[in-house]
Structure 1
Amino acid sequence: MSLSRRTTRVVAVVAAAVVALAIAGLGLAGNFLVDFALNPRAEVSMARSMASGEAEVSADYAGAPKRDAAYAEEAASWFEAEGRSVSHRAEDGTVLLGWELAGAEGGAYDDGHTWAVVCHGYAGEPADMAKYAYHFAQMGMDVLAPAARGHERNADTGLIQMGWGDAQDLLGWVDDIVARDPEARVMLFGTSMGGAEVMMASGMDGLSENVRLIVEDCGYTSVWDEFELQLGEVFGLPSFPILNVADAACLMRAGYTFEAASSVESLRRASVPMLFIHGDEDDFVPFSMLDECYEACASEHKERLVVPGAGHALSASTDPELYWGTVDDFVAEHLG
């Protein structure tokens, strides 16, 4: 073999090794990102960081002024005292847990048939939705507060679904209500990841006709868009190629892709009346996503509410009168 041919072969082997190492490195990076974002049991986890208050969004939330603090405290005590454990067997056989709370007697919707299903955010739990659940219960609605997969008592059900798999589960939770009461009138309500969850459910096949309206607060356009933003904010990295590799890892490990988990695409098939809410100081789920979601929504009846000065998931705390006045008017118009 000539020296040139030998050299060529060595170069080819080295190049192949470099490519293999690069692919392996990307695979490790992709799996790290999936663990960081979706595995609350991972040693380094965004969910764990947010739950402990170490993440910037948690610190910002804790330090923001809240005009409904006394009401939220009262609601938290009510939730803890009145919550009753309920379960749902999902299509894949997984038993999921949540909480059910009875509506107050004498409220405007105290007819035994009206339900509010409230969905919590990323790294949260149903109790985080106490003030929303309390408000609807005081209006006479019965309330269901499911825990998302990978959260609270469902922590051992797999990786976090970012609203996508949760939306499929949500359809099942609603079907359970309708099986008990075929005359049920149901409102879906969610904040942040829960907001994305109810938007994703809005256009899914199998959404019960008993769902009369949907209210979403600061949900994102898609999991890809939100992770692309956070990849830049947290790690200072571009989306390509790490997010693409993580997307493939997510499909193998969690059963969905970041791009498929899209609120916008589901909203294009929506027909239920929908109210979209966002604070104009939100930089965790950017305020610009409000218009993208609203414009994509195919529902004949839709409204949007901008809360000036509100950060992420702080609209109800920043201006309770504007927030609840708008929500209650929308509910009255479309729930009866």
Structure 2
Amino acid sequence: MKKRTKIIVACVAVAAVVTAGLFGAGLYFYQVAVVPAPKTFLSKPQKITKNNPLYPAYKWYQQVNKQRWYEVSATRHLILDADYIPAASHTQKMVLIAHGFMGNKDKMFSYAYLFHRLGYNVLLPDARGHGDSQGNYIGYGWPDRLDNVKWIKKIIAQNGQASKIVMFGTSMGGAATMMVSGVKNVPKQVKAYIEDCGYTDVYDEVAYQAKELYHLPKFPLVGIVSLINHVKNGYSFKEASALNQVKKNHRPMLFIHGAHDHFVPTRMVYPLYHATKGPKQLLIVPGKGHARSYQNQPKLYQQTVAQFLKRWVK
């Protein structure tokens, strides 16, 4: 009997140590995945020189007149910051541009230039926890979807009921764009969505990165990080699903993904494309890298976006 008791006590002790170890690992990877801070696994920002094909866009962005807009987040009452760039000529057409993971509005200068040249007013918000917006966690597009709906309503309040709005985003911003598409009662002024290299859901993306970067299995670590995130920030990684959101969408959507994307794997775009209920178009762009489709194939990118908008935004 004593021997059996000792075995039970030993097993409980081992289980406690393992549990504590897993929880400690979960807290560490929560910091890596969710807390805004410099990330060693992200590539360093590219220096924009005169020889860079993006230089004209960069120079334009540095010089163009910007207006500061503010909004309060849909939850937690955070102050969100954005730059508004009016079109060269008066128009009701507007694009809302969502940046990627650990990005900010200024890093979206090339896309702002693209849409500006197409005759659009441009709004560039910083997501919560990024840039000049308040917040101490990365929302991966999920809480941001509701923040973006508030930005959309602000656009309508500022530019009128006749506004014709397109939402565009890359990477996390692409996921946020798709997540917005499934929100109930998105204003009718939103005419189309363009997402570039967004993920299916946060759980799948974090699990993929855990394997690629740290050679760790998704079970049980990703579930633990998701649980911590749910307690701290109110949503689980599986709940934060772009795939489930696009299933509710009936508006036009253009999906763009690099052919050799190893950060958000290219395979993720296909179930997203097939899931949406609205008019849709898919562009797989030749070339390597994540969120580099515009840089890799600028003419193809511009032409595809322009033709899509011409069709769906009158």
TM tier, smaller = over 0.9
How far apart, in 2, do the equivalents of 1:175 and 1:131 lie? 25
| 8 Å CA contact 1:104, 1:139 repeated in 2 | no
Larger mean CA deviation between 8-17 and 156-165 belongs to 8-17
Query: Deviation at 1:138?
Result: 2.6
What is the deviation of 1:26? 1.3
Contact kept, 8 Å, 2:194 with 2:254, in 1: the verdict is yes
Matched, 1:311 2:289: yes
For 1:200 and 1:31, the matched residues in 2 are separated by 27
Q: Which runs of 4+ in 1 moved over 6 A?
A: none
Offset at residue 67 of structure 1 (A): 6.7
1:46-125 alignment to 2 at 5 Å? 48-49=38-39, 54-55=40-41, 57-58=42-43, 62=46, 68-78=53-63, 81-92=64-75, 93-105=77-89, 110-111=90-91, 113-125=92-104
Partner amino acid, structure 1, of 2:156: V
Counterpart of 1:321, as a letter, is K
Equivalent residues in 2 for 1:174-193 (5 A)? 174-180=152-158, 181-193=160-172
With the length of structure 1 as denominator, give the TM-score of the two structures: 0.88
Counting helix residues as a fraction of each chain, which structure ranks higher? 1
Q: CA deviation at 1:315?
A: 0.8
TM (normalized to structure 2)?
A: 0.94
Identity of aligned residues (%): 33
Aligned to 2:11: 15
State the alpha-carbon separation in 2 of the partners of residues 228 and 209 from structure 1. Answer: 35
User: In the alignment, which residue of structure 2 is the partner of 1:328?
Assistant: 306
Q: CA deviation at 1:270?
A: 0.4
Whole-angstrom CA distance in 1 between matches of 2:110 and 2:54: 10
The structural deviation recorded for 1:62 is: 4.2
- 1:13, CA displacement in angstroms? 1.7
Per-residue deviation, residues 277-298 of structure 1 (Å, max 9, x unmatched): 0110111111111212101111
Structure 2 stretches of 5 or more lacking a match? none
Alignment-mate amino acid for residue 221 of structure 2 = I
Number of aligned positions between the proteins = 311
Shift of 1:189: 0.4
Q: How does 1:19-38 map to 2 (within 5 A)?
A: 19-38=15-34
Looking at structure 2, the residues matched to 232 and 297 of structure 1 have their Cα atoms a distance apart, in angstroms, of 28
Find the aligned partners of 2:166 and 2:87 in 1 and give their Cα distance. 14
Contact (CA 8 Å) 2:54, 2:110: kept in 1 or not?
A: no
Q: Which residue matches 1:266? A: 245
Deviation readout 1:51-100 (Å, 9 max, x if unpaired): xxx43x515x849xx9732233224323xx42222111123222211111
Note the alpha carbon deviations across 1:252-309, whole angstroms, 9 max, x for none.
112111111111110100011000001101111111112121011111x100111111
Q: Larger C-alpha radius of gyration, 1 or 2? A: 1
